[in-house]
Amino acid sequence: MRRLPIGPATILWTIVAIAFAVQFALEGAYIALGVEILVGLVVLVLSTRPQGRTFLGRLKLPVLAIISAFIVGGVVLIFSDLEFYAAFPGDPLGTLAASLGRVGSAYGALIVGALGDPGKIVAALGSGNANKIGIAFRPISETLLATTPLILAGLAVAVAFRSGIFNIGAEGQLKIGAVFAVWVGIWVPLPGPLHILAALAAGVIGGAAWGFIPGILKAKTGAHEVITTIMLNAIAQQIMLTLLLSPILQPEGGTTPISRTVMDSAQLPVLLDLPKIRVHFGLIIALLAAVWTSWLMFRTTKGFEFRAAGLNPRAAGYAGMRAGRTIVLAMIVSGGLAGLAGASEVLGTTHYLSPTISPGYGWDAIALALLGGTRPSGVVIAALLFGALRAGGPSMALATGVPIDLLAFISALVIMFVAAPRLVREIYRVRLSATAPSTPQVVETPL
């Protein structure tokens, strides 16, 4: 059989995209329309690009993975609607159109919730009213706020992946880092900036210690890091809950698992002193961490050893690199970055510790590391996208009543598609370069 130049999914996606565009235009949701046209153009360009090591060639797989995840999410949204089943037999086409419309408004609300309304922004800037400006920029601020821990956790997983280690324990390392940071923030009286630095350092140390355990166990005994980090995640959760209910962190007379508030001197300042704006200096720290990680991985001998161990640990061993030390160091760096994410959350965003400190940042981090091709720059871009999802979710839920957990499902699908280049290739009939983000070439030690 002759192969079609474009796959059935691409045709379907084009039809749906046109339908959405018409609907957005009718509703006057011009940002959603703009974003959609942009995405459409990107896909169009990508599908005509030859494979290779070019920037666009590298974008191909992540973009197609994200689009596929949203399409599946839309299908779930339609078929989980009970009214759909009631109305479908009477008016199949009309019901389907209405359902597609609802999916469109949900995704549209998501985009507006993440980026804000340009009209309002312009109006607010014109009025010069600080309150109005704050409200108009709040969506962007919330996106950047959610991006902050995602960048750090994503970097943590990316460093480990590059070094051939499956660190799926970022969630636990983040929590231990948050516990350490909040403890210093509450109990160690230090003057201003010094206090912040001490609390951040405590977070890094906590996370690094939690990363050190699987690292040293893998290096010394060959214990599989996937199993140890899964177990350490559960242990971290229990330790955090116990401490939250003990006088170590809980305020006097407290009954709920919520810690005392950290001292003012330990709080990360807000970037812009406007009402409703919450994005804080943690974002700067996260971006600096990305630059530092990039320098470490691609400009230093240690980074070279990390990457060599990730590509082929045996070859690295023959070249005289000490595999055990590399593993431990990579896990310390990885855990430290995850711990910093936890510290930035408690010191900048919440100012206290609660069981919901991480709504799955450590798990999103896996998606980010894969989407970003385990490159720090890629992780930052992917974190912005996931941050937008996290920030836009509540608006979507509020405006259209679609439960926010749909986004958790979509994130999981993104990981699946991006980890399965063969699947994407089959669906879209596109050629994918072999340089697509691949999982590390770990020589698996038996459990």
Helix axes 92-115, 8-27, angle to 10 degrees: 70
Site map 79..98 versus another protein, x via CB under 8 A: -xxx----------------
| From 25-33, 48-56, 316-324, 415-423, span contacting another protein (CB under 8 A) | 415-423
Question: Does the protein bind another protein through residue 415 (CB under 8 A)?
Answer: yes
Q: How many CA atoms within 13 Å lie on the side-chain side of 138?
A: 14
Residue whose CB is less far from another protein, 195 or 390: 390
Q: Which residues pair with 167 in a beta bridge?
A: none
Q: Which of 374, 358, 348 is nearest to 262 (CA)?
A: 348
Which residues in the 278-317 window bind another protein by CB under 8 A? Answer: none
Question: Does the protein bind another protein through residue 433 (CB under 8 A)?
Answer: no
CB of residue 79 to another protein, shortest distance in Å: 11
Residue whose CB is less far from another protein, 235 or 270: 235
Residue whose CB is less far from another protein, 265 or 312: 312
Site map 187..216 versus another protein, x via CB under 8 A: --------------------------x---
CB of residue 444 to another protein, shortest distance in Å: 4
Binder among 17, 78, 230, 270 for another protein (CB under 8 A): 230
Q: How many residues does the chain have?
A: 447
Which residues in the 237-276 window bind another protein by CB under 8 A? Answer: 238-239, 241-242, 246
| From 191-199, 222-230, 304-312, 371-379, span contacting another protein (CB under 8 A) | 222-230
Binder among 223, 263, 323, 399 for another protein (CB under 8 A): 223
R_g of the chain, CA atoms, integer Å: 23
CB of residue 41 to another protein, shortest distance in Å: 29
Question: Does the protein bind another protein through residue 152 (CB under 8 A)?
Answer: no
**HEC readout, the chain:** CCCCCCCHHHHHHHHHHHHHHHHHHHHCCHHHHHHHHHHHHHHHHHHHCCCCCCHHHHHHHHHHHHHHHHHHHHHHHHHCCHHHHHHCCCCHHHHHHHHHHHHHHHHHHHHHHHHCCHHHHHHHHHHCCHHHHHHHHHHHHHHHHHHHHHHHHHHHHHHHHHCCCCCCCHHHHHHHHHHHHHHHHHHCCCCHHHHHHHHHHHHHHHHHHHHHHHHHHHHHHCCCHHHHHHHHHHHHHHHHHHHHCCCCCCCCCCCCCCCCCCCHHHCCCECCCCCCCCCECHHHHHHHHHHHHHHHHHHCHHHHHHHHHHHCHHHHHHCCCCHHHHHHHHHHHHHHHHHHHHHHHHHHHHCCCCCCCCCCHHHHHHHHHHHCCCCHHHHHHHHHHHHHHHHHHHHHHHHHCCCCHHHHHHHHHHHHHHHCHHHHHHHHCCCCCCCCCCCCCCCCCCC
Binder among 66, 357, 410, 430 for another protein (CB under 8 A): 410
Question: How many residues bind another protein, per CB under 8 A?
Answer: 51
Question: Does the protein bind another protein through residue 3 (CB under 8 A)?
Answer: no
Question: Is residue 323 within 8 Å of 317, Cβ to Cβ?
Answer: yes
Question: Does the protein bind another protein through residue 416 (CB under 8 A)?
Answer: yes
CB of residue 270 to another protein, shortest distance in Å: 31
Residue whose CB is less far from another protein, 133 or 328: 328
Question: Does the protein bind another protein through residue 217 (CB under 8 A)?
Answer: yes
Residue whose CB is less far from another protein, 8 or 222: 222
Residue whose CB is less far from another protein, 48 or 221: 221
| From 53-61, 88-96, 203-211, 413-421, span contacting another protein (CB under 8 A) | 413-421
Question: Does the protein bind another protein through residue 403 (CB under 8 A)?
Answer: yes
Site map 7..46 versus another protein, x via CB under 8 A: ----------------------------------------
Chain residues that interact with another protein, rule: CB under 8 A: 76, 80-82, 166, 168, 213, 217, 220-224, 226-228, 230-232, 234-235, 238-239, 241-242, 246, 360, 363, 366, 370, 402-403, 405-413, 415-416, 419-420, 422-423, 439, 444, 446-447
